[in-house]
Amino acid sequence: MKDSNKPGKESFPKIPFEDQVNDDQRKYSRYVCDSRAIPHEIDGLKPVQRRILWAMWNSDARNRFTKTVKVAGLAMGYHPHGDRSIQDALSQMAQDFTFANNHPLVAGEGTFGDVLDPGAIASPRYTEVKLSDFVKDLGFFESLPDIDYVKNYDETEDEPIHFVGKVPIVLLNNIMGIATGFRCFIPGHKLSAIINSQMNYLKTKKPLPLKPWYKDYKGEVKMAKTEAGNITMTTTFGFTWEGDSLYLTDAPMNWNREKVINLLDDIVERKDSWLKDYVDHSSQTFRIELNYKKGEKPSAKEIAAVISKEDTQTLANNVITYDGRLKNFGPEDIIKRFCDFRKTHLIRRFKRLAGLEQEKIERNSELIRFIKEKWNEKVIGIKSKKDFEDKLQKSKFVYYEWLASIPIYRMTLEEVRKCEEAIVEAKTALSRYQGLVKEDKKLTEFMIGELTELKDKWDKE
**pLDDT, tens digit, 9 for 90 and up, residues 194-239:** 999 999 999 999 999 999 999 999 999 999 999 989 999 999 999 9
Q: Within this chain, do residues 357 and 450 fall inside the same structural domain, yes or no?
A: yes
In a domain, 118, yes or no: yes
What's the distance, Cα to Cα, between the start and end of the chain in Å? 83
Query: Which of 335 and 31 is assigned the larger pLDDT?
Result: 335
Query: In the structure, what pLDDT confidence band is assigned to residue 22 with cuts at 50, 70 and 90?
Result: very low
- Is the pLDDT reported for residue 454 higher than 70? yes
H-type alpha helices, 104-219:
133-137, 191-204
- Is the pLDDT reported for residue 10 higher than 90? no
pLDDT at 33: 41
- Is the pLDDT reported for residue 386 higher than 80? yes
- Is the pLDDT reported for residue 243 higher than 80? yes
Total domain count for the chain?
3
CB atoms within 10 A of CB 66: 18
Catalytic member of 28, 31, 126, 149: 126
Q: Within this chain, do residues 153 and 262 fall inside the same structural domain, yes or no?
A: no
Query: In the structure, what pLDDT confidence band is assigned to residue 29 with cuts at 50, 70 and 90?
Result: very low
Average pLDDT (10-37) is 52
Q: Within this chain, do residues 248 and 397 fall inside the same structural domain, yes or no?
A: no
Active site residue 201: no
Query: In the structure, what pLDDT confidence band is assigned to residue 30 with cuts at 50, 70 and 90?
Result: very low
- Is the pLDDT reported for residue 284 higher than 80? yes
**Of 326, 341, 356, which marks where a domain is finished?**
341
Closest CA to 372 of 412, 420, 332, 321: 412
Q: Within this chain, do residues 287 and 399 fall inside the same structural domain, yes or no?
A: no
The overall average pLDDT reported for the chain is 92
Average pLDDT (250-274) is 96
Q: Give the whole-angstrom CA distance, residue 71 versus residue 78.
A: 12
- Is the pLDDT reported for residue 341 higher than 70? yes
CATH number at 450 reads 1.10.268.10
Query: In the structure, what pLDDT confidence band is assigned to residue 49 with cuts at 50, 70 and 90?
Result: very high
pTM over 0.95: no
In a domain, 5, yes or no: no
Q: Within this chain, do residues 353 and 337 fall inside the same structural domain, yes or no?
A: no
Q: Within this chain, do residues 179 and 120 fall inside the same structural domain, yes or no?
A: yes
Query: Which of 22 and 197 is assigned the larger pLDDT?
Result: 197
Q: Within this chain, do residues 301 and 332 fall inside the same structural domain, yes or no?
A: no
In a domain, 265, yes or no: yes
In a domain, 186, yes or no: yes
In a domain, 119, yes or no: yes
- Is the pLDDT reported for residue 177 higher than 90? no
- Is the pLDDT reported for residue 24 higher than 80? no
- Is the pLDDT reported for residue 371 higher than 70? yes
- Is the pLDDT reported for residue 4 higher than 60? no
In a domain, 6, yes or no: no
Q: Within this chain, do residues 323 and 191 fall inside the same structural domain, yes or no?
A: yes
Q: Within this chain, do residues 151 and 259 fall inside the same structural domain, yes or no?
A: no
**Of 309, 325, 358, which marks where a domain is finished?**
309
Average pLDDT (285-314) is 95
**Residue ranges making up the domain that contains 140:** 28-204+316-341
Q: Within this chain, do residues 111 and 125 fall inside the same structural domain, yes or no?
A: yes
pLDDT at 35: 46
- Is the pLDDT reported for residue 402 higher than 60? yes
Query: In the structure, what pLDDT confidence band is assigned to residue 62 with cuts at 50, 70 and 90?
Result: very high
In a domain, 197, yes or no: yes
Is the separation of the CB atoms in 21 and 29 below 8 Å? no
- Is the pLDDT reported for residue 6 higher than 70? no
Is the separation of the CB atoms in 102 and 215 below 8 Å? yes
pLDDT at 81: 79
* Angle between helical axes of 413-438 and 331-372 (0-180°, round to 10): 150
Q: Within this chain, do residues 160 and 183 fall inside the same structural domain, yes or no?
A: yes
CATH number at 324 reads 3.90.199.10
Q: Within this chain, do residues 59 and 200 fall inside the same structural domain, yes or no?
A: yes
Q: What does the buried/exposed string (b/e) look like for 279-291 if buried means 16 or more CB atoms within 10 Å of the residue's CB?
A: eeebeeebbbebe
